[in-house]
Amino acid sequence: MLFLSQLSPRSRLFRFAIAIGLILAIIVAFSGVWRPLVIEELAEPAPTQTPLAAQASPTPAPSLPPEQAAPEQFSIVWLSDTQTIAYDNDIRVFRLMGEWIMEQKEPLNIRYIIQTGDLVDNGYVEKQWDSFNVLLNHFYGKIPYLPIAGNHDLGVKLQKYDAYSDQPFVKSLPKEQSFKGGQAVYATFQAGGQDFLIVGAGWGAEESSMVWVNDVLRSHPDHVAILLFHYYIKINGSVTTRSVALRDRIVARNPNVRIVLSGHVRGSGYRLEEFDDDGDGEMDRQVHAMLYNYQNYPRYNTGQLRVLAFDTETREIRVFTYSPFTKRYYSDGHFKTQEFVLENAF
């Protein structure tokens, strides 16, 4: 017998191949089917799942308080009875008043101009409206303006609203904010995060517009309400007989009313009144009523306007009266000073 070492290399390779074939044949005979050996990789075990109910909820981010508006100081310019200036056709006085208002628009942060009636001496005399428009045209369309009518605006004897209601600045008032062509009006604005509501009822329309005025006040419960009437208090601070119903049926019944402004009679006056809004026997609200009117002053001593300077942080109103024509400040008949402050005013 020959040993493998004695065979040639070629013979040894041939005999090795035959041996391998015999081994494979034996494997197939015993297994029936030959399959190649596959080595599978072991998969990593899936992580244990925590039931949803047991999972910890993520800690919510702390809620931030809503951004509060910064306190603001702003002003309302209050025009009272300018009828004598219109009657005298003193357009220089009106011009100086208008120029001063626009010069002070930014320094005083003037947000509104209001007027408590008797813009002219006779609403049916067109020349007087032309004179008044010298003042109006300085600020109209640049600073919001809300007037009410006085008895003279309705005509000395006629006492009708058609001439007043026909004025362009009245006709342009939003219809949803006007009662019967400007007989009563309202407007809203915001300053220092506080909402304000101005509501006015003109001469002769106080009774007929009362339901409308109350509806406006009740639909703005979170607004500080400023009321405009042509005639509300006297110089001594007492409520006029004509205005008792306004006090009892409007001012007393609406907790958002804080300020009442009026003119009609010459001079200045003030009334502070408290109201128990919830009926618990304790006073809940103060209402400041003011009167000012410099009509029929001599022509060399005219052109007065009043500034109400609000501070939404202290809730105070600083009040002063000034004439750009005379370049003088005027003392108030009640406070006896040229400037006074209303505390807890809104």
Beta strands in the chain (DSSP E): 73-79, 110-115, 145-147, 178-179, 184-191, 194-201, 224-229, 257-262, 267-275, 285-293, 305-311, 316-323, 328-330, 339-342
Whole-number pLDDT of residue 48? 42
- Give the model's pLDDT for residue 286: 98
The torsion defined by the Cα of 124, 306, 261 and 266, in degrees rounded to 10, comes to -60
Instruction: Report the chain's terminal Cα–Cα distance, integer Å.
Output: 128
CA distances from 278 to 237, 245, 251, 337, 341 (A): 26, 20, 14, 36, 28
- pLDDT for residue 2: 40
User: Which stretches of the chain drop beneath a pLDDT of 50?
Assistant: 1-9, 11, 13-14, 22, 24-61, 63-64
Q: What pLDDT score was predicted for residue 239?
A: 98
pLDDT the model gives residue 53:
37
DSSP code per residue over 84-95: HHHHTT-HHHHH
Quick one: pLDDT at residue 58? 43
Nearest Cα neighbor of 331 from 343, 342, 319 is 319
Q: Note the pLDDT of residue 241.
A: 96
Amino acid (one-letter) located at 318: R
Residue that the structure tokens 């070629």 belong to: 10
Q: How far is CA 16 from the centre of its chain?
A: 103
pLDDT of residue 34: 35
